[in-house]
Amino acid sequence: MEIGIDSFAAAKLSDDKQTAVNSKHSLAELLERMEFADKVGLDIFGIGEHHRKEFLDSAPALILAAAAARTKRIRLTSAVTVLSAIDPVRAFQEFATLDLISQGRAEMVVGRGSFTEAFPLFGYNLHDYDALFTEKLNLLLTIRDNEVVNWSGKFRPALHNQAIYPRPVQAKLPIWLGVGGTPESFARAGSLGLPLMVAVIGGETHRFRPLVDLYREAGRRAGYKPEELKVGLHSLGYVANTCEEAIEEYYPGYAETFTRIGKERGWPPVSRGRFEAQIGPTGALLVGSPEEIAQRILHHSEALGGISRLTFQMDNAGLSHEKLLKSIELIGEKVSKLVKNPITFS
C-alpha cells in the first residue's frame, strides 16, 4: 500500500485576508514539507485545487513542479484537479510537463471538487455540473491515449487531427478519478477502468464498501482485471507520539474549520463528542499514535476489500509547520512501515 500526504496549501490569513508576505512564507513551508516527505520515504504527495482565500492551491501544477525540482523519488499528483472548470488540453499539457520535469513521477486525480467557486470564476454554469465533467473527462482520456486527437463535444471547440504536446515520460500518464459519495461516479470509474480515489472526510469508512463494490463490478463488466481497479482512500488525519497528544493538537483547529464550513453548508457545529466518535476504530478521522493509525488503516483496507493507497489531509486544523513536519516524519518512519509490514504488530 502506498502512503502519502495531500495538501490544500492552507493560507495564513491576516485580518481575514491573504497577504503576499504570509502567502510567500506559507508556500515556502509547504515545499519544505514536500521535500521532507520525500526524504522520510513517503510514496505520494498531492496538491488540491481551490479558488478561495483560505488556500493557495489555485495552480497546483506549479506547486508540484517546484517540488519536482527538490525531490527525487516521491510521486506528485493533483488532489484533485477540478476538471469541470479547466480545459483538458491545458490540464494534460501541464501534467505532461510535470512528468518531464519529475522524470516520470506525475499523476492526476481528477474530480468535480467539493466547492463551486470555480464555475462562475471560469464562466461555467453550475447546472452543467455533471455534463461538463463527463465531456471533459472523455477528452482528457482521449488526449492521454492519442498524440493526434479527433474529438467534438458541447462545451469547447472540436479538435480535428490536432497533435497535442508535450507527451509525458510515462507511456500512459496515471489518471485517478476522485469521488465523494455518488454511486454514478463510482460506476463511471469502474466502467472506464480508472483507479479510484475515495474522499472520506467524516462518518464511518466501511459504509463506502457497497460503492467500492459497485466500482469493482462495473470494472469487471467492462472487462478490466481486478489488479487494474485500484482503490485509494483520502482521509483527514494527524499523527503524534501519543493519541492524547494528537487529539489535543488537532481538535481545536479541526473544530473551527468545520464549524465555519458548516455555516455555508447547513451542518451543525462540531462538538468534542462528535469528533471523538469519528476517531474510533471505524471512524473516518485518522487521528492518533503511529501504532493506532497503522492498525486503523489496515482495518479500513479490510473493510473496503483492499486499498492500494492512503493519503492524509492535515491542512484543515491550523497546525504549525513544525507540527506538520513531525507528523510527516511519524507517518513516513513509523506508520508506513507498520502498514507495509503488519507482522511487526505485537
CATH number at residue 51: 3.20.20.30
> How many angstroms separate the CA atoms of 102 and 204, rounded?
36
Domain assignment present for 330: yes
| Domain end position, chosen among 173, 198, 215 | 173
Confidence of residue 217 (pLDDT cuts 50, 70, 90): very high
Whether 114 has a pLDDT exceeding 80, the answer reads no
Task: Give residues with Cβ within 8 angstroms of 201, minimum separation 6.
Answer: 235, 236, 284, 313
Is residue 278 in some structural domain?
yes
Dist. CA 7–CA 189, nearest whole Å: 23
Instruction: Give 344's pLDDT tier (boundaries 50, 70, 90).
Output: low
Same domain? For 135 and 187 the reply is no
Residues 323 and 206 in one domain: yes
Q: Which of 173, 197, 212 is the last residue of a domain?
A: 173
Q: Is 232 left (phi over 0), alpha (psi -120 to 50) or beta?
A: beta
283-312 mean pLDDT:
97
- Please check the confidence at residue 266 and state whether its pLDDT lies above 90: no
Whether residue 154 is found in the same domain as residue 184: no
Both 88 and 227 in a single domain?
no
Do both 137 and 117 map to the same domain?
A: yes
Look up the domain containing 200 and give its range: 176-339
**Category of 125 on φ-ψ map: left (φ > 0), alpha (ψ -120 to 50) or beta:** beta
CB distance 290 to 243 below 8 Å: no
One-letter identity of residue 316 = N
Residues 122-142: what's their mean pLDDT?
Answer: 95
Question: Phi/psi of residue 174, each to 5°?
Answer: -65, 130
The answer on 161 and 75 residing in a single domain is yes
**Least confident segment among 77-81, 113-117, 178-182, 234-238:** 113-117
DSSP notation for 159-194: EEEEE--PPPSSSS--EEEEE-S-HHHHHHHHHHT-
Instruction: Read off the pLDDT of each residue in 218-226 and give the average, rounded to a whole number.
Output: 97
| In a domain? residue 346 | no
Residues 198 and 331 in one domain: yes
345 lies in some domain? no
Instruction: With H, G, I as helix, E, B as strand and everything else as coil, classify residue 137.
Output: helix
Q: Do 155 and 237 fall within a single domain?
A: no
Helix (H, G, I), strand (E, B) or coil at 5: strand
Phi and psi at 86, nearest 5°, equal -135, 155
Task: Show the cell assigned to 295.
Answer: 492498525
**Residue 302: its pLDDT value, please?**
96
Residue 311, beta-bridge partner list: 4, 234
Q: What is the pTM of this model?
A: 0.95
Same domain, 328 and 216: yes
Q: Are 77 and 46 in contact (CB under 8 A)?
A: yes
Do 186 and 152 share a structural domain? no
Of 173, 205, 229, which residue constitutes the final position of a domain?
Answer: 173
Sequence-distant (6+) residues with CB within 8 A of 249 are: 238, 240, 317, 319, 323
159 lies in some domain: yes
Number of independent structural domains in the chain? 2
218 in the same domain as 307: yes
Residues 199 and 124 both lie in one domain: no
